[in-house]
Amino acid sequence: MLEFRQIDIGDRQWINELLKKSDFMGCEYSFANNMAWRRLSDSTISRYKDFYLIKAEDEEYTSFSFPAGSGDYREVFDVLKKYADSQGKPLIITGVTESCLEIFRNIYGENGFDAKLSDGSGDYIYLADELINLKGKKYHKKRNHLAKMKNYNWQFYPMSEKFFDECIELSVVSYNDKKGYDDHSSVAEQYAIHTYFTYFKELELKGGVITIDGSVKAFTIGEPLNSNTFCVHIEKADASVDGLYPAINNEFLKYAANGFKYVNREEDLGIEGLRKSKRSYNPVFVLDKYAVKIK
């Protein structure tokens, strides 16, 4: 029987080895994300042969992220099905992309499983070169917003430990303004931000800040996700400063995403404002994800 436990910084090496085998583009295939966001769904982890397993469970279902690693997928799905059956719950596989759906079709045929598109969970994927250079008519508005930053005495810096406290303070102000303590996802986000900063060096994260008149007004954190994609995990800015969000995004990617083909700015969670913002950067595609129930 599989045994599950909370993820820990000591798991980083073996998990990254298995993630590298799959080279998936989805934002959930990041050790840093898995560790930082574990409170969102109280996720736990396990290993089955050369597969990395992430489980979320509640009273109604047992779900697993599509396993990363290598080996016999029929075998690992059978093991997961037996585990779910032992809990008296249906088995759901989440984070299933179009290419991964083919694996289910090859194993179970067209009628052996149900797949439902997970609204709000698709990752927004952009061409790194476009977000760095902002050329052409489709980025005209972004360039106009950036131009407004000339009204401020601002500076971009790569993230370093001397900025950690100010960044956390900035995130707390946003959290309190939104009354985040009443929202489970906001509470989980604060835990994630705390984790990113606590283990910033160990996780080998990249980050950036923008100061105005010497005070931190925006910060962001990301990392290489796979062989061709850089992922932006978190981005916070003082919304009262016009142009600040486009500025922190652009400056950070100039610093951190050179040499990558794609940038993953993660999902919109079905939040209309977030969806509008992510679409405004002209994604080259959205990495749709399905929840699959094996019959």
Predicted local confidence at residue 269, as pLDDT: 87
Angle 221-224-225 (CA atoms, 0-180°, nearest 5)? 105
Mean pLDDT for back-to-back runs of 10 residues, the chain (295 residues)? 95 98 98 96 96 91 95 97 93 96 96 94 98 96 95 98 97 75 82 97 98 98 98 96 97 97 95 92 97 92
pLDDT score, position 181: 67
Number of neighbouring beta carbons within 10 Å of residue 89: 16
Q: What is the DSSP string of the chain?
A: ----B---GGGHHHHHHHHHHH---STTS-HHHHHHTHHHHT-EEEEETTEEEEEEE-SS-EEEEPPEE-S-HHHHHHHHHHHHHHTTS-EEEEEE-HHHHHHHHHHH-TTSEEEEE-TT-PEEEEEHHHHHH--SGGGHHHHHHHHGGGGS-EEEEE--GGGHHHHHHHHHHHHHHTTGGG-HHHHHHHHHHHHHHHTTTTTT-EEEEEEETTEEEEEEEEEE-SSSEEEEEEEEE-TTSTTHHHHHHHHHHHHH-TT-SEEE----TT-HHHHHHHHTT--SEEE--EEEEE-
The label of the residue with tokens 């980050």 reads 207
Place of tokens 């850089």: 230
Rounded to whole angstroms, the Cα distance separating 148 from 242 reads 7
pLDDT of residue 158: 98
What is the token pair recorded at 196? 């990113």
Pairing of strands 113-117, 262-264: unpaired
Rounded to whole angstroms, the Cα distance separating 39 from 29 reads: 16
User: Could you give the angle at the alpha carbon of 179 between the alpha carbons of 176 and 184, nearest 5°?
Assistant: 115
Residues 6+ apart with CB under 8 A from 10: none
